[in-house]
């Protein structure tokens, strides 16, 4: 199966390397465009939207750091130059689906920890992105160091 535009979602931790590598292989095999996306989740959202202090400066720092890391990834993986890189505020599932629709993405690639137990009940970004996705989704299994 051949894809035309692959969007790889990165959390900007060291775990995003195997996810980008897999997406890069697929993009090369399909001669597809490869784009990157990272979503910065608003801090107020993480605290339940009810925080009695101004988080705007911290939020800006978080955004700036994410921008630097995304730039570093673009240098490390030149294949990403075939597409775009997106850095946006919001909720990962919603933003990734929106971008996929707007940019005619036909495959979204995410990392998956293959959780079980309590963390399975709490859900994961990979699970979240899969539900209601406007195109195919590939979950790249991330192996824990202890496995
Ligand atoms: P998690 O379920 O949060 O451990 O993340 C699993 C995968 O979801 C990561 O490997 C990324 O592919 C994707 N992901 C998680 N957080 C983000 C984020 N803020 N922006 C983009 N992708 C993300």
Domain boundaries, the chain: 5-142
Could you give the CA distance from residue 142 to residue 27 in angstroms, rounded to a whole number? 19
- Percent of the chain residues past pLDDT 90, beyond the cut: 63
List residues near ligand 1 (CB under 6 A): 9-11, 15-16, 19, 37-39, 92, 110-111, 113, 124-126
pLDDT-based confidence at 56, cuts 50/70/90? confident
Could you give the CA distance from residue 126 to residue 137 in angstroms, rounded to a whole number? 9
Which pLDDT belongs to residue 46?
61
Which pLDDT belongs to residue 147?
46
Which pLDDT belongs to residue 80?
82
What's the gap in Å between 45 CA and the centre of ligand 1? 16
3-class SS of residue 123: coil
Domain at 5-142, CATH class: alpha beta
Ligand 1 pocket test, pick from 67, 108, 110 with the greatest ligand atom count within 8 Å of Cβ, gives 110
What's the gap in Å between 110 CA and the centre of ligand 1? 7
Find out whether 7 and 109 touch, Cβ atoms under 8 Å.
yes
Which whole number is the average pLDDT over 41-51? Answer: 67
């Amino acid at each position: 199966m051949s894809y035309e535009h692959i969007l790889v979602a990165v959390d900007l931790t060291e775990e995003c390397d195997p996810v980008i590598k897999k997406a890069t292989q697929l993009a090369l095999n399909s001669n597809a465009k490869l784009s990157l996306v990272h979503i910065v989740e608003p801090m107020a959202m993480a605290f339940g939207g009810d925080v009695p202090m101004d988080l705007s400066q911290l939020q800006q720092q978080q955004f700036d750091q994410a921008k630097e890391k995304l730039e570093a990834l673009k240098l490390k993986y030149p294949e990403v130059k075939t597409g775009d890189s997106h850095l946006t505020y919001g909720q990962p599932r919603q933003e990734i689906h929106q971008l996929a629709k707007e940019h005619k993405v036909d495959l979204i690639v995410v990392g998956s920890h293959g959780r079980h137990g309590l963390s399975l009940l709490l859900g994961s970004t990979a699970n979240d992105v899969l539900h209601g996705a406007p195109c195919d989704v590939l979950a790249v299994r991330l192996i824990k160091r202890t496995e």
